[in-house]
Structure 1
Amino acid sequence: MERSDIQGPRRIPMDPKLLRAAGTGDKSLLERLLPSIATAELAIAVPNNGDVLSAQDDPAEASILRGVTVGGNTALHIAATHGHLELAEMICERERSLVVARNVMLETPLHCAARAGHHQVVSSIVSFTRDSNGIGVDTALRARNRDGRTALHEAAQNGHVDVAVELMSADPGLADMVDHAETANELLKWNQILAKISDESGSTPLHYAASAKNDKMCPDLDELLDNKGRNLLHTAVEYKSTAIVRYVCGRSELVKLMNARDFEGNTPLHLAVRSGDQEIVSLLIRNKRVYLNIMNNEGLTPLDLSIIGVEDGLTYVTNPAHWILMCLQWNGARFSSRRMDHVVREDFGPEDLEKESKKHASLSQSFAMSTVVIATVAFGAVFTLPGDYNTDGTPTLARRYTFKAFVIADTFAFIFSVLSTYFSTFNGAELTSLSLRCYYVAFSIALLGMATRILVAAFALAIYLVLAPVSNSFGIAVCVITSTSELLLHAHMIPLCKLAITMKSRVGWTGLFKSQVRRLVWSWFKYQIPQILGASFIYISIFLLPLL
């Protein structure tokens, strides 16, 4: 039928039952909804004024399969996205022209199936294009979306090799096609429709719900975009709404949201990495349906963004940026093909050196305060020894093993705290070169940690020395409670435990041990074993020297 007053596809609101059937794969529900005989070829169109037409506006073309969502997706788009092969075949048999129907992103069902990696659905759609009169294979396979990408581009970008091979086999010329943008007029026709459901910023009510951390959703929430091309999950990540992210990641029917790209090509994972939110990054990576290696319009993967976010120079290894970088690397994320020297600036300018010098000075002051306190306590303990004194001024408990161990521990605590103060002084001095200051920081941290541990041991020995004559069991209990503070000195292990939990959720225990055993063992020997050996030597000295 020829219409002179129509310049684009006519939109009919989708029946909610059809939306549910296509999204959940309910074949019986779809069979009840479809008429008993095949309908005529589909013509989805939009009037010039952008009004949404209902089926009653044109009874001659009334068909339930003509309905589209807010995002312009037909039932075939939805079935292809979720990989419901039988439903896709049923829909194609009734309305074959849906194979080339476009949504607001100018994507065909083939784009959706290729992006999600549903090989069988792609193969079925390709077969229908061969068997349909008026729908050529080239027309369907070479259709470009809003970003100028074909279905082959989507499959290749998301790592679906089998889908890419299927598409190139159907049309070998696809590999030679280069990206270019669709015409602005075609996009403007769709924007007129979207304007009716969004405010001046392009935000829909659901975007505001996401920013307000409201997790009550509607059926077609994966269709709503703001003027940046961001969906609900993008907005939830941007506003750090953990509840919304957890809700979306737990719903299989919302898989389309998880890897959707905004107008800058960023997926929710890109935004989460950029924001530095460990909890949201963990939630996304735990979900196996989230792709880790999608590139944005700048050609950057989430791993590229994570290394950009790592602060140069002196920094703590368990800071969120470092944690996110390790989490992506350990879960198999890859860098893009771009040269890293074009992504990460490696040279230090005068401003960077000044900033780094201030960090060392600030750290030196913090260390100096801590070490001076420990040194003062250890020094004072020598003149306030536990127990009474004999008439000649010697301690009455001087011959006790525990007393000797206490004195040795107190001595080590004083020596290590003084040495830490010494190295901290050089660390804070601007006259010292930056490379040497890094070594002084390492020495200060190690010595401060040892001084703290030994001072705790000295305190436990003093408590036991005083309480043992009254109640030996009570003295032991106090020593055990005091010793548990050692666990707090290993608080840096908590982020690593979270990292292991995230990786276990994505690759399982087997994948965790297979891929990370070498790295964990090397990390253990490189960082933990020297510390354990050093601490063991000190503790052995404390408890063996009194026997001499």
Structure 2
Amino acid sequence: MASRTSSNSSSAGALVDEQLLEKAIISADASSMQEIASPNSSELPSVIPEAGRHQLTHLSHVESIADDRAATTSSPGELATTNNPSGGGAQMDRDLMKATVTGDAVSMKDLASQDPAVLLGTTPQGNTCLHIAAIHGHTGFCNDALALQPSLLAGVNSDGETPLLTAVTSGHASLASSLLRCCGRRDQRLMSQAILKRDRRGCNALQHAIRSGHRELALELIAAEPALSHAVNKYDESPMFAAAMRNYEDVAEKLLEIPASAHGGTFGYNALHAAVRNGNSGYEVSTDGVSLLSTAAFRGNVGVARELLSACPDAPCCDKEDRTCLHRAVWSGQTEFVQFVLGSQKLRKLVNAQDSHGETALHLAVRMCNPKLVAALLMHQDIDVTVHATHGSPPNWALSTADDRAKTLNWNEVSMLMLKADPKDASSLHNLHKQIKDDVENLSRKDIKSLTQTYTSNTSLVAILIATITFAAAFTLPGGYSSDAGSQGLPIMSRKLAFQAFLVSDTLAMCSSLAVAFVCVIARWEDLEFLLYYRSFTKKLMWFAYAATTTAFATGLYTVLAPHLLWLAIAICVVSVLLPVLTKLVGEWPVLKLRVRLGRTFNSDLLNMV
């Protein structure tokens, strides 16, 4: 800054640094010009140009008005909105910033005692010291700052947040509660505006409290300012909708007690749709045309649907494309809800209801390859399996759109169920099956080399493992070898029947597994028919080797244990012999279950692709 000039008129030298004064005038810095000017003179030096005189006089006048306004605003009895960046507020003092971040209330009070207006300074983001303290959760600091400067409660930063909003969004519920109580002790009208303030996304403190999971704070906010329930943010979400989505029943009930509480939600939904989502208990339909029954069907909330129908027997159950709640339940796989609809007299009309494409719920269940839903629909006495969609396809042909699932048990089970339900259409169903099977085979031929490599590598690995085990067992015979003269080197147990059975089964297991391993070597890599034959042949040999290996294990241990622990030897034999049988049952259990469930309808030809 320029040095102060002397008031001695006898020195004709430059009493004022003209260059610095010129810069001060250009930048409209009144304080700099006052420093350059003589402190002992009531008039400006004669060296200041005339334009500069007028500008300095005007700036001094403006500065005095600003000081008066600041003094009026900072009076403790009144409330004013703190300056933000757009309003050109004073910059926050650095020492105050440090004290705020650390929660040092003593340093803050010292600074305020020197200049009460220092608490009104803001950061470039428009945050006051109360905003910063709210971010860090310094409750004591906030209380002390409000005692000195109550107007801080209404300060708004660049995000449109008051300190109360900042405390809620920062997760400090106890601090937010403390600020709320401070608001209650001030001017009711102005404090109500501070509580109701919404951020740039249109959310108020109540909406943020609900979204952040602060139920107690939300109830406290509702009690302090019921008008918070009227707010709807820029996403069309109301506090009641948010409470219903979070399943906060106590908060939702309090909001329902307030007249004219907003209940809308995003995408045209409302709080009742959200309550249905959570299983809480209609003629309400969203702007997208989704009824409450459809929402309940999608979630599988049978209790809600039952409650809705008891209050509204003719409640809407279709959307804009005529998809019923039964369609939605089938599409979302809600078996219990489907059974509820099928057993409801009020919803009986939905069994054969068609959507805008002419498809019934049965069409959709067949396309989804869900045998449980298909079976439930087919058991209803009103079901019509001959309904054709607008493109001319009966439910049977919905399987053609699920060709990617043709190699699954579900696809084959659904086809069997539909064959049983409509025997007259057996020829078309078999034609469909043949078409899908040809498509699957064509895809397999394109990837035959990879399929062959995968199968041969896995099979040969298991075969070599069995061959190694059985080969090693042949030279570590149970009971050991004899060292007596005349029978030296012969197995001690050679005359026992169990030992002979061990040798036979071990030999068969080794030979069959070696055969499988060497078949893998001569496998042809580009022939699907050979792969199918190879798979069938090796599968039988591997099962035989598996059974022979377990038999060799059982007979070997029986030979050693029988003379002393007969019961244990028998138990080991039973478990070992049952192991291949149990493995077979477990491996084919889904098919066996299907065979039992379908009875005479079961058709093994349809399982070839599996």
The answer to which structure, 1 or 2, has the higher relative contact order (CA under 8 A, 6+ apart) is 1
Higher gyration radius (CA): 2
